[in-house]
Structure 1
């Protein structure tokens, strides 16, 4: 009975110390990627009232019409180097 009691105390003390959440401070750069992504996607309030957008509606309508009919102007294929072995066809 005494051995069972000592084993129970040992298991209990090990299980309590395993739940210790004090693992020290996180890395100093922790969260930088999330903060960078938020900064990129959030529009600053000073730009939220800008309505003077440099866009020609007729030109946009022509481009959308070409897209709907499948006659969109295909982009040119450009590679980053001439070393070969890439996936860009010439």
Structure 2
């Protein structure tokens, strides 16, 4: 079997707080993870195609936009880019 390319759409919402003292607005992230290569002006990474055992490495680069919070934007230097890697095991079954 030849290695198979995998693309995976991923959306996440990150919440940051300091107990009940401080709660930042949610940080939304949309990214396409791929077993190919993902690159932008600032970051890049290379995935690994799905092998016979179902193993693959997915990689993606996404722009992270500022949120409505000066403290978080300053601390994390928004806008910026993030690089994500996920090692995955994917099983494929035939439908009946």
Q: Report the TM-score when normalising by structure 1.
A: 0.18
Higher relative contact order (CA 8 A, sep 6+): 2
Could you say which structure has the higher strand fraction? 2
Q: Report the TM-score when normalising by structure 2.
A: 0.18
Higher gyration radius (CA): 1
